[in-house]
Structure 1
Amino acid sequence: MSKREKQAIGQQILTAFRAAGAEEVAPDLLLPAETLLDLYGEDIRARAYVTQDPIRGEVMLRPDFTVPVVQMHMENGAEPARYCYLGEVFRKQDHGENQPEHPRDNEYLQAGFELFARDPDADAEVFALFHGILAPLNLQASMGDMDLLMDAVRALPLSGARRAALLHHIWRPRRFARLLARFSAPAEGRNFSESPTTWTGLRSPDEMQERIDRLQADAGEQPLSSQWVERLERLFAVQAPAPQALAQLRQLATEIPDIHEAVDRLERNLADLARRGIDTDAIHFDASHGRHTMEYYDGMTFSFAAAGRADWPPVASGGRYDALAAVLGQAKGRSIPAVGGIIRPGLVYELGGLA
């Protein structure tokens, strides 16, 4: 497949985004690494291409568009605002030391749309836009809601430190499961003997002492009851056509009252989509859907996947990222809800295009 063919499909998608009222933007290809590392943590290093500039310091080839688009909007964007873009992103895709038989592209095109608005139907607007553009491909639409899961974790009868640890690892299912198992068992006592030796390492003595204090405090925690673990596991496992999943979540909300608001919002979103002519029975709801997407999504998440292509990433994906927009807007004293997503023109081409 030539770049020209991928670009042609990208332009076709871009035209649809512009028709939806979006202004086209072109963020820089080389971004300051500090901001991205602050937002994503050091884990992003394993996926991004990082280099050193003698003037700018550490910089990173653009791993996605969302952060620079949000930064640009916070500088001088109006409300509401819609942006679209088309360009390359760069991510390390394959792990290990040997080249796989079918390597994934490390450089590929993304066409994206971002909406900054306080309208309650913004989630439905973005989902419906992507649904309409991709309709010729007969993809499987899936949906989740990270706020639903995070509200359930915040409701756990745990200390603030333990809840914060679970929330931090909610996008890492294996680590999350290990933490949940540890917090469900009696805490192990920690013995930190006094030593006259000098502190060594990259952390300061105060940071290390703070860590020791946290571990010692943790030893006094009561284990999480099996009832709460079972409720959480049932919530995370909800998978069904969206209307059926909504009914299951309504039942779970009687046991986890803190998720009522997120369940109400899901109901409104599904009603908004139905009013836009979308068959919500054809949308697969997966409560853990957002745990496998970018970490900055904190509300509705969605994806469109090709049947029979389990080895592919989603053809399109996106979601709500209010917290990210708030963090990036702090310096300007601004905060506005945001939702957006991307489409991979290369995969659209592989499926025969949109014509």
Structure 2
Amino acid sequence: MSKPGKQAIGQQILAAFRAAGAVEVAPDILLPAETLLDLYGEDIRARAYVTQDPIRGEVMLRPDFTVPVVQMHMENGAEPARYCYLGEVFRKQDHGDTQPAQPRDNEYLQAGFELFARDADADAEVFALFHGILAPLRLQATMGDMDLLMDAVRALPLSGARRAALLHHIWRPGRFSRLLDRFSAVAAPRIFEDPGAPWTGLRSPDEMQARIARLQADRAEPPLPAESVARLQRLFAVQAPAPQALAELRQLAGEIPDIADAVERLAASLSRLAARGIDLATIRFDASHGRHTMEYYDGMTFSFATPGRADWPPVATGGRYDALTAVLGQGRSIPAVGGVIRPGLVHELGGLS
């Protein structure tokens, strides 16, 4: 008997999502680029396929489903609401001038589930749903929590401008690390001589003067204490089975009191998973997990990966994205959590039955 194809597996996953109460939706394949650029900045251009439409302007081939589903819900959706979908997404995966020996797919199926609800159990509901669907594949489940990291950054003894810069780059570990190093050292002097020439450029003179004022004010910032950096790095490095990680985080909360509330929220979420019959010892907690996922995740994150296949992307990913609904809701917001599964990878692993 031949194993099911990608589409058949996608339909199987979709049926499980519908059985969990989700309504199927089908967002457009071509999306306005402006919204995605506003959310992610120009970095999205490195990953998305962008083209020009004579009427609609700049558009992108759908890089993921979450943004259009959130837009649809915030325009006219009631709450609570559950949505599911199945379709192609398009992302540039490989960079450089030559084709790698094992190129990753730049067009592939995603099956997804999104939950909009003011329910403390929402994180556990979504994680448990994905855990149950993928159980036959014996994948490694990993969780993270961006709340913890962002609360820790907000607690640093820095100016608002420096904290904002670190929060902006928290999903870019390399840039974040360089900023942290810079803020930990005495600021180098900056001299802005008046050349007497006319102001030129895309920015106005007022904008350039404001920028100069910010850079000059940055000189007066005291360096970040070494103990603050060490605590933050210890937090970011926490990796262990969930029960052990929780104990480590509670210990760290004694040194970083601002993360205590997030740690207890995580503890409550893990308790809800245990109440659903999930063995917490099988879940790996990685405090920096969310830094390597989509930038809109701002709470719990999760992934299910294939052991021994480090060259593969995760079979499933997801998380909480409350702030995204506020950005796209034009004044309205609602807590939201969701995730996606790659039917193609499930197919490579032999299917779900």
Q: If the length of structure 2 is used for normalisation, what is the TM-score? A: 0.98
Distance in structure 1 (CA, Å) of the matches to 2:211 and 2:318: 36
Distance in structure 1 (CA, Å) of the matches to 2:146 and 2:39: 17
Deviations 1:60-109 (A, max 9, x none): 00000000000000111111000000000000000111111111111000
Which residue of 2 is the match for residue 351 of structure 1?
349
Which residue of 1 is the match for residue 338 of structure 2?
340
Distance in structure 1 (CA, Å) of the matches to 2:204 and 2:308: 52
Shift of 1:205: 2.4
Which residue of 2 is the match for residue 197 of structure 1?
197
Distance in structure 2 (CA, Å) of the matches to 1:208 and 1:348: 52
Distance in structure 2 (CA, Å) of the matches to 1:56 and 1:174: 36
Which residue of 2 is the match for residue 55 of structure 1?
55
Which residue of 1 is the match for residue 314 of structure 2?
314
Distance in structure 2 (CA, Å) of the matches to 1:26 and 1:205: 47
Deviations 1:278-318 (A, max 9, x none): 00110000000000000000000000000111001100000
Shift of 1:159: 0.2
Distance in structure 1 (CA, Å) of the matches to 2:203 and 2:348: 49
Within 5 Å, give how 1:1-40 maps onto structure 2: 5-40=5-40
Shift of 1:258: 0.5
Distance in structure 1 (CA, Å) of the matches to 2:242 and 2:131: 15
Shift of 1:195: 1.7
Deviations 1:149-188 (A, max 9, x none): 0000000000000000000110111111111011011111
Within 5 Å, give how 1:141-156 maps onto structure 2: 141-156=141-156
Distance in structure 2 (CA, Å) of the matches to 1:209 and 1:50: 34
- Count of matched residue positions in the alignment of Structure 1 and Structure 2: 351
Which residue of 2 is the match for residue 323 of structure 1?
323
Which residue identity is paired with 1:23? V
Within 5 Å, give how 1:1-355 maps onto structure 2: 5-330=5-330, 333-355=331-353
Which residue identity is paired with 1:152? A
CA RMSD of aligned residues (A): 1.0
Deviations 1:247-282 (A, max 9, x none): 000000011011011101110010000000000110
Shift of 1:136: 0.1
Distance in structure 2 (CA, Å) of the matches to 1:207 and 1:86: 45
Which residue identity is paired with 1:351? L
Distance in structure 1 (CA, Å) of the matches to 2:332 and 2:172: 30
Distance in structure 1 (CA, Å) of the matches to 2:102 and 2:254: 47
Which residue identity is paired with 1:286? D
Deviations 1:17-69 (A, max 9, x none): 00000000000000000000000111000000001111100000000000000
Distance in structure 2 (CA, Å) of the matches to 1:325 and 1:120: 17
Distance in structure 2 (CA, Å) of the matches to 1:205 and 1:251: 50
Deviations 1:231-252 (A, max 9, x none): 0000000000000000000000
Distance in structure 2 (CA, Å) of the matches to 1:204 and 1:107: 42
Which residue identity is paired with 1:191? I
Q: Which runs of 4+ in 1 moved over 3 A?
A: none
Consecutive unaligned residues of structure 2, counting only runs of 5 or more, are none
Once structures 1 and 2 are overlaid, which stretch shifts more, 204-213 or 301-310?
204-213
Distance in structure 2 (CA, Å) of the matches to 1:235 and 1:314: 23
Identity of aligned residues (%): 83
Shift of 1:209: 1.9
Distance in structure 2 (CA, Å) of the matches to 1:203 and 1:343: 43
Deviations 1:184-207 (A, max 9, x none): 111111100012212233333222
Distance in structure 1 (CA, Å) of the matches to 2:343 and 2:33: 27
